[in-house]
Amino acid sequence: MLNTSAKCLFNLSILKSLLPLILILLCFPSNAATYRVAIVIDDMGYRHTDKQALSLPGDITYAVLPHTTYGKILAEQANKENHDVLLHIPMESENKKELGPGALTSEMNRQAVSNSLTASLAEIPFAIGINNHMGSYLTQLYQPMTWTMDFLKKHNLLFLDSKTTAKSKAEQAAIDVGVPVQRRHIFLDNQLTESYLRQQFSQLVSFAQQHESAIAIAHPHPETIAMLTKLIPTLQSHNIKLVPLSSLYPQTTIAHKAPALSHNKVTDVAANKALAVN
């Protein structure tokens, strides 16, 4: 039998041997959210029902079409609730679809591009940047993309390339001009079946775990909203945190102002094989 003094020394010896392991566990908690995901809801503004997207849980980012019936009021509501808001700028597509107001086309010169973006930003001045709506043709053209980036640089805005074509030169133009830029990795709802939406969300999780972060784009379809409401809470079980888009950009490029006043709050598996029809 060990006497009391021997027992104390024995226990102290065990504690000293375990101390390095205890320190490691304290410094690196096993439940820490290692990975980050941003989900951008595009095409906000044409339909009254788009407001349902504002009910999604967590730090969703909203991309609002300029000069649309409900765009401004939805953007203001999202901003009031401290969500990142983008201007979702229509850009010329290869299939020449009708673009709607605030569009940029290959026929425009530098001044026309600047004037159009100025009008869009005036409507939603707290936008942190823009992403392209459609744009599978225009984003292939370096010159108009450079004019676009010049505008963004002047106003301290970011760019998100929706990657509606694998041939996009928008990211390179942004880098050359010095505009903070990221690209979309996953389209969540090119199809609206439950099986497809779950499959794409699973791809989002896998991409984030492989690359530490991921950016997904979805749309305010009722089917998408219903499924994301169920799936977003499951991110935590994968050690993934849903974050504002701006948090995936270098923070040194971000200028913060009061939400009501600022448009400066800035925050590859290769592109999906199934690109949006744009």
Model confidence over 184-201: pLDDT tens digits? 999 999 999 999 999 999
Torsion over CA: 114, 117, 123, 128 (sign): negative
- Residue 264 pLDDT: 38
Predicted confidence at residue 141, as pLDDT, reads 98
Residue 265 lies inside a defined structural domain of this protein: no
pLDDT at position 23, please?
46
Please report whether residue 205 resides in a domain: yes
Same domain, 231 and 248: yes
**Same structural domain, 7 and 118:** no
What rounded mean pLDDT belongs to the chain? 86
Q: What's residue 270's pLDDT?
A: 38
Asked if residue 275 belongs to a domain, the reply is: no
Whether residues 77 and 102 share a domain: the answer is yes
Q: What pLDDT score was predicted for residue 98?
A: 87
The answer on 166 and 140 residing in a single domain is: yes
> Same domain, yes or no, for 181 and 76?
yes
Residue segments in the chain with a per-residue pLDDT below the cut of 70? 1-33, 252-278
233/103 same-domain check: yes
- 17 located within any domain: yes
Domain that holds residue 81: 35-253
* pLDDT for res 117: 98
| pLDDT of 262 | 37
State residue 96's pLDDT score: 86
Kindly report the number of other CB atoms within 10 A of residue 34's CB atom. Answer: 13
Asked if 16 and 119 sit in the same domain, the reply is no
Q: Do 153 and 56 share a structural domain? A: yes
Burial group, residue 58, by CB count within 10 angstroms (0-12, 13-18, 19+) = middle
Q: Residue 201 is part of a domain; what is its CATH number? A: 3.20.20.370
- Total domains in the fold of the chain: 2
Residues 65 and 7 in one domain: no
Please report whether residue 277 resides in a domain. no
Q: Is 5 a member of any domain?
A: yes
Whether 278 is in a domain gets the answer: no
- Return the axis-axis angle of helices 194-211 and 222-231, rounded to nearest 10°: 50
Task: Quote the pLDDT of residue 47.
Answer: 97
Residue 114 covered by a domain: yes
User: pTM of the full predicted structure?
Assistant: 0.82
